[in-house]
């Protein structure tokens, strides 16, 4: 079986955005000096690369599963379970790091906590649909989590751009 044309197109867009964010973060991390909150900015660059690469991987995953002949419903359920597990692992790894690194201010620390809570709220329905509760929503939950991943990457992108020193005269 294969995925519907709409799903395939959406997944391709997320994969391309993820590659763009990962490439940008890699270039910025390699060639820039940061003027404010250096530890937090380095964390953001690493987080953006990791999240963007996860975004690419999970954008390609449904194609891989469908390539083995699984029906579209089964493809989305399996993909949802794997994305929920990967997302939970990412939150469990990044939340303690964010807590330690966001000592620079309460607003940044609270933003990290809000992102973790929203991720947890999106992970729960992924697990539920993977387990067979309302399996018709597996595709929607999957895309909602991918969209959230892009929002987090965009947030880190904005914060990194604010922290980058543009030239020596600054």
Contacts of 31 (CB under 8 A, 6+ apart): none
Segment 49-101, tens digit of pLDDT: 889 999 999 999 999 999 999 999 999 999 999 999 999 999 998 888 776 66
- Residue 90 falls inside a structural domain: yes
Q: Is residue 56 part of a domain?
A: yes
Residue 51 lies in a domain: yes
Q: What is the pLDDT of residues 103-116, one digit of tens each?
A: 666 667 777 788 88
Question: What domain count does the chain have?
Answer: 1
What is the tens place of the pLDDT at every residue in 124-144?
Answer: 999 999 999 999 999 999 999
Dihedral over Cα of 42, 124, 21, 161: its sign: negative
In a domain, 169, yes or no: no
Q: What is the pTM of this model?
A: 0.88
Domain span at residue 117?
5-163
Residue 168 falls inside a structural domain: no
Question: 170: pLDDT confidence band, cut at 50, 70 and 90?
Answer: very low
Is 116 within the bounds of a domain? yes
């Amino acid at each position: 079986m294969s995925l519907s044309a709409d799903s395939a197109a959406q997944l391709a867009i997320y994969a391309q955005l993820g590659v763009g964010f990962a490439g940008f973060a890699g270039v910025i991390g390699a060639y820039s000096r940061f003027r404010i909150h250096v530890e937090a900015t380095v964390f953001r660059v690493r987080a953006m690369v990791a999240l963007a690469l996860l975004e690419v991987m999970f954008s390609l995953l449904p194609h891989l599963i469908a390539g083995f002949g699984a029906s579209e419903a089964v493809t989305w359920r399996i993909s949802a379970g794997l994305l929920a597990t990967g997302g939970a692992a990412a939150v469990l790894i990044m939340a303690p790091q964010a807590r330690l690194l966001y000592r620079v201010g309460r607003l940044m620390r609270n933003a990290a906590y809000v992102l973790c809570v929203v991720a947890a709220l999106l992970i729960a329905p992924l697990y539920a649909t993977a387990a067979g509760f309302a399996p018709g929503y597996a595709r929607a939950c999957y895309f909602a989590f991918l969209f959230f991943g892009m929002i987090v990457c965009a947030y880190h992108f904005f914060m990194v751009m604010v922290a980058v020193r543009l030239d020596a005269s600054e």
